[in-house]
């Protein structure tokens, strides 16, 4: 396990020990840093009642750890959402979706009282946009969405051979203007056929945990 990922995962575990009580629900994201968190979730397994997961992969890992995983429709409140990011800027705006689960991640983040993001130093940037922005689209709309993105100055690349948990496609985009992440997030989501994009501005984290000595 990467030492930085384990470092931030254990920081989150220690933090949650002071905040959780047995009736609480945790939201759990997707990716290698979240996997490090799940690897150590035994330490707080008795501190909360169940989890809501953002992907089939995380659900499988959680159930292997004996964690009860619920559907979001069966939950009234998610107290804390734990996830990683591909980029984080000084305002805690994120790019997410390298694993293709950002649509469900954004839904769970929006349903949560507090979003705690775990990242290593390589993810810290002065401005978003070096990491290609993932956009989940309905399969029939992929070319239409791509043409619209080109008209916005972006360069779309179809993530060939990748299907999301919801049977949709991913377009990875470079070249967009990230000077106003909130506005960009809204404009991209207004394109017909877009399920959601990987800009987390409206649903940015309340706390970002970086590695410490």
Q: Which of 87, 105, 136, 185 is catalytic?
A: 105
Cα 194 to the chain's mean position, in Å? 17
Q: Residues 17, 76, 164, 1: what is their CA dihedral angle, to the nearest 10 degrees?
A: 0
**Where is 33: in which H helix or E strand?**
helix 32-39
Q: Which residues contact 53 (CB under 8 A, 6 or more apart)?
A: 27, 28, 30, 59, 62, 69
Residue 186 CB neighbours (<10 A): 14
How, if at all, do strands 87-88 and 94-95 pair?
A: antiparallel
Instruction: Name which of 46, 6, 12 is nearest 28 in CA terms.
Output: 12
105 part of the active site: yes
| DSSP per-residue codes, 40-64 | TGGGGTTS-SEEEESSHHHHHHHHH
- Please say whether the beta carbons of 133 and 197 come within 8 A: yes
The set of catalytic residues is 105
């Amino acid at each position: 396990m990467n030492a930085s990922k384990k470092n931030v995962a254990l920081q989150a575990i220690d933090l949650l020990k002071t905040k959780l009580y047995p009736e609480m629900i945790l939201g759990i994201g997707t990716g290698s840093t979240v996997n490090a968190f799940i690897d150590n979730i035994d330490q707080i397994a008795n501190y909360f009642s169940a989890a809501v997961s953002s992907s089939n992969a995380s659900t499988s890992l959680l159930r292997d750890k004996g964690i009860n995983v619920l559907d979001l429709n069966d939950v009234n409140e998610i107290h804390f959402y734990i996830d990683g990011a591909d980029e984080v800027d000084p305002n805690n705006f994120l790019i997410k979706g390298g694993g293709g689960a950002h649509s469900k991640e954004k839904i769970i983040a929006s349903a949560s009282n507090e979003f705690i993001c775990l990242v290593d130093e390589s993810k810290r940037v002065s401005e978003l946009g070096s990491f290609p922005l993932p956009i989940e689209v309905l399969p029939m709309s992929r070319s239409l969405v791509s043409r619209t993105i080109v008209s916005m100055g972006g360069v779309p690349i179809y993530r060939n051979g990748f299907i999301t948990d919801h049977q949709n496609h991913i377009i990875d985009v470079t070249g967009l203007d990230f000077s106003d992440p909130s506005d960009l997030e809204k404009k991209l989501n207004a394109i017909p056929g877009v399920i959601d994009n990987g800009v987390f501005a409206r649903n940015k984290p309340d706390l970002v945990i970086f590695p410490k000595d």
